[in-house]
Each structure stands twice: as C-alpha cells, then as structure tokens.
Structure 1
Amino acid sequence: MDINIGINEPKRKEIAEGLSRLLADSYLLFLKTHNYHWNVTGPMFQALHTMFEEQYTELFTAVDEIAERIRSLGEFAPGSFQDFQKISQIKEETSHPNAEQMIKNLVLGQEAVTKTAREIIKIADDAHDEPTVDLLTQRMQIHEKNAWMLRSLITK
C-alpha cells in the first residue's frame, strides 16, 4: 500500500538515508560503550562501569526508535554489522585502551552522533517531518549531555 503521510517519496528516502547513518553511528557507539563497560579498569572502575552501562542501555533503546522511524517512512532499516560499518563514521574498537582513552573515544563518538543528527534535522524540517525532527532533537540533547559528562572526567 502506498504511503500518504504528507512527505513525498524522494524526501522520505532522503530522510531515511540520513536516519540510517544515525542508526549506524548509534549502533557502533552502543557496541563501543558496551565493550568499554566490560573492559574498563583502574581507579575509576566503578563509576565508569556504571556510567557506561547507563549510556549503552539508553543507546540500545535509541537504535530501536531510529530503526522504527525509518520503517515508518517506508524504507528498510540497515540491520547488519557490515551495513553499519559501511555508513558509520564511528569505527569499531579493536584494542583495549586505558580508561582515560576510553572516555576520550566516547566523547568523540557522542559528538559524532550529534553531528550526524544535526546534518539530518534540516532535511527533516524542510519536509515538515516533525516526528523525525523531534527524534533528532532528543538524540542531540542526550548525546551532547553525555559528551559533557564524559568530558568532565578528563583532567587534562
């Protein structure tokens, strides 16, 4: 059945492509944050272990919301790690950095997701896609706050 939600098909596809990048970035940040939760060591272990868990749990919920918005626009959401790696600006963690480097890497990841959301919001706003604008605004607010909280832990 055709989709008739007041956004034409080319715009829906363009928005969904942007949301697919956001989904990929969010999923790889989720994976990195979960990895760090498991592998963090050092004097800040308990605080970081707990913070990382809160952040990856929130990201797990977010990826579902983003994928469902893509589907609401009539497109298929990417769902494989291979697909995510192709379109994400966040790279998989293959080493075991120390706690401070983990924090720095996560700040960069949080900022990257924020920038991806910010790139899409104008497209969604121009198409009068308020549900996507709302989703993106919420994502930016969460990632900016997370980046601030992580950045606050860095002493240098």
Structure 2
Amino acid sequence: MSIDIGIDDGARKQIGDGLARLLADTYTLYLKTHNFHWNVKGPMFNTLHLMFEQQYNELALAVDLVAERIRALDFPAPGSYAAFARLTSLKEEEGVPSAEDMIRILVKDQEAVVRTARSIFPVVDEAHDEPTADLLTQRMQVHEKTAWMLRSLLG
C-alpha cells in the first residue's frame, strides 16, 4: 500500500536517509557509552559509571524513536553493525581510554550526533515534516545538554 502523508517521495527519501545516519550515530554512541560504563576506572569511577549508565539507557530508548520514525516514513531502518559502521560519523574506540579521555571522546561524539541531526533540518523544514522536526529538536536538546554535563566534569 502506498504512503500519502503530504511529503513527496524525494523529500521522504532524503529525510529517511538522514534519519538512518542519525540512527547509526545514536547506536554507535550507545555502544561506546556502554563500553565506557563497563571499563571506566579511577577516582571518578562511581560518578562516571552511574552517569554513563544513565546515558546509555537514554540512548537505548532513542534508537527506537529514530527507527520508528524511519518506518513511519515507509523506509526500512538499518539494524546491523555493518550498516551502522557504514552510516555513522563516529569513530569506534580501540582499547580502554583513561576516564578523562572517555569524557572528552563522549563530548565530541555527543556534539557529532547534534551535527548529524541538525544537517537533516533543511529538508525537514522544506517538507513541513513537523514530526521529524520535533524528534530532531528533542534529540539535539538531549545531546547538547549531555555534552555540557560531560564537559563540566573536565573543569
């Protein structure tokens, strides 16, 4: 059955592709944050262990919201490591960084997710896709606040 939600097929495709990149960034950040939660050590262990847990739990819910919006636009949501690796703008971490380096890495990655979300806005605005605009606004707000909170730990 064809979709007719008032957004032309070309714009829907561009939005779906942008959301696929956002999904890949979000899932990659989820994995990295969960990894850091498991492996953090040092004097800030308890603070960071708990903070990272809150962050990866929020990201786990976010991937579902982004994937469901992709589906509502009638496109398949990417769902494999290979697809996420191809689509993400984030760099995978090798080894276990220091606690302070974990914070710095996550700040950069949170900001990268904001940039990915922001990059989708022109086509979303032009298509009058308010549901996607609302989702992007909420995601940017969360990631900007999380980046600020992480940055604050560095003094």
- TM tier, shorter chain? over 0.9
Aligned residue identity for 2:133:
V
Aligned residue identity for 1:113:
V
Once the two structures are superposed, residues 5-32 of structure 1 have per-residue CA deviations (whole angstroms, 9 ceiling, x without a partner) of 0001111010000000000000000000
Indicate yes or no: 2:84 matched with 1:84. Answer: yes
Aligned residue identity for 2:94:
T
TM-score, normalised to structure 1, is 0.98
Q: How many Å separate the matches in 1 of 2:121 and 2:58?
A: 21
Alignment of 1:7-156 (within 5 A): 7-155=7-155
Q: How many Å separate the matches in 2 of 1:36 and 1:135?
A: 26
Instruction: List structure 1 runs of 4+ shifted beyond 6 angstroms.
Output: none
| Gaps in structure 2 of 5+ consecutive residues | none
Q: How many Å separate the matches in 1 of 2:120 and 2:7?
A: 15
Q: How many Å separate the matches in 2 of 1:122 and 1:11?
A: 10
The offset of 1:153, in angstroms, is: 0.6
TM-score, normalised to structure 2, is 0.99
Q: How many Å separate the matches in 1 of 2:130 and 2:40?
A: 39
The offset of 1:93, in angstroms, is: 1.6
RMSD: 0.6
| Gaps in structure 1 of 5+ consecutive residues | none
How many pairs align? 155
Once the two structures are superposed, residues 84-143 of structure 1 have per-residue CA deviations (whole angstroms, 9 ceiling, x without a partner) of 011111122221000000000000010000000000012111100000000000000000
